[in-house]
């Protein structure tokens, strides 16, 4: 049940993402600088499939992937492509429209359901939704913070995390950081820093984008316990 928040600034934004995973998954590799079609980007690497759940490129465009559960009964005998590989394929895009067009033309039936946040440096973000049978684009996204991995069968954690977000007094970078480390209302499956049998929050990613640079700070392990971060920097590049 991953959780994503962001805060817009005059020259960019501040993006945070908790990744919640089963303890049976392989550990991820921390963020590094990669290149695709001449575009540099920063992303951690999933330990099982080699894709990623979050990435930011030198144009200041960030992508963040959240799984959807309960939309359709997937054929368990079918082999799906990892959703994280789709995110990597889109990290050479310079703007929201380019990412939207490419994903609209893709054969999404190869992927399990997902929500994909596309967050640009200055334009409006978009949320690209694939239910397993229908693709749609949500353009009024800033009002949807926080985003969580959606489940039609277990909506309680999303409701509680939105309630805790609404209770934040004075929204800023520090209060967002506190929110992502929070055990409110209690330490467990509903808290943003999640702990339950067989699964937990396994990392916190924090991306700061300005006109000059992209800073990606990555904390491995539960955010409530992490004491250090790996930080990777990219110089911003103009779209022209």
Average per-residue pLDDT for the chain: 93
Q: For the whole model, what pTM was predicted?
A: 0.94
- Using pLDDT thresholds of 50, 70 and 90, give the confidence band for residue 71: confident
Do residues 230 and 31 make contact, with C-beta atoms less than 8 angstroms apart? yes
C-alpha dist (Å) from residue 101 to 106, 115, 136, 183: 9, 16, 12, 39
The CATH number of the domain holding residue 27 is 3.60.60.10
Residue 48: pLDDT band with limits 50, 70, 90: confident
Residue 156: its pLDDT value, please? 83
pLDDT tens figures, 105-115? 999 999 999 99
**How many domains does the chain divide into?**
1
pLDDT computed for residue 78 by the predictor: 78
| Pairing assessment for the beta strands 199-209 and 213-220 based on DSSP bridges | antiparallel
Of 131, 119, 123, 122, which Cα lies nearest the Cα of 90?
119
Domain interval for residue 139 = 3-235
pLDDT of residue 153: 59
Answer yes or no: is pLDDT of 16 > 80. Answer: yes
Q: Averaged over 173-189, what is the pLDDT?
A: 96
Q: SS3 string of the chain?
A: CCEEEEEEECCEEEEEEEEEEECCCCCCEEEEEEEECCEEEEEEECCCCCCCCEEEECCCCEEEEEEEECCCCCCCCCCCCCHHHHHHHCCCCCCHHHHHHHHHHCCHHHCCCEEEEEECCCCCCEEEEECCCCEEEECCCHHHCCEECEECCCCHHHHHHHHHHHCCCCCCHHHHHHHHCCCCCCCCCCCCCCEECCEEEEEEEEEEECCCEEEEEEEECCCCCCCCCEEEEEECCCCC
- Residues of the chain with pLDDT > 90, as a percent, come to 82
188 in a structural domain: yes
98 or 68, which is more confident: 98
Decide if 137 is inside a domain: yes
Indicate whether 240 belongs to any domain: no
Nearest-angstrom CA–CA distance, 85 and 45: 10
């Amino acid at each position: 049940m991953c959780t994503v928040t962001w805060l817009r600034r005059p020259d960019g934004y501040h993006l945070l993402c908790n990744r919640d995973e089963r303890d049976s998954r392989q550990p991820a590799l921390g963020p590094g600088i990669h290149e695709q079609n001449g575009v540099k980007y920063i992303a951690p690497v999933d330990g099982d499939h080699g894709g990623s759940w979050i990435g930011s490129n030198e144009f200041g465009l960030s992508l963040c992937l959240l799984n959807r559960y309960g939309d359709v009964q997937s054929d368990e005998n079918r082999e799906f492509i990892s959703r994280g590989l789709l995110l990597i394929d889109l990290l050479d895009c310079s703007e929201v429209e380019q990412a939207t067009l490419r994903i609209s033309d893709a054969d999404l039936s190869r992927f399990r359901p997902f929500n994909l946040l596309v967050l640009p440096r200055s334009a409006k973000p978009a949320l690209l939704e694939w239910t397993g049978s229908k693709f749609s684009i949500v353009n009024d996204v800033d009002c949807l913070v926080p985003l969580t991995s959606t489940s039609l069968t277990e909506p309680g954690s999303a409701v509680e995390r939105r309630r805790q977000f609404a209770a934040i007094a004075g929204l800023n970078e520090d209060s967002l950081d506190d929110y992502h480390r929070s055990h409110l209302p209690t330490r467990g499956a509903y808290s943003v820093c999640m702990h339950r049998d067989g699964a937990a929050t396994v990392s916190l990613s924090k991306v700061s984008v300005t006109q000059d640079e992209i800073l990606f700070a990555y904390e491995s392990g539960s955010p409530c316990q992490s004491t250090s971060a790996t930080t990777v920097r990219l110089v911003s590049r103009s779209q022209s």
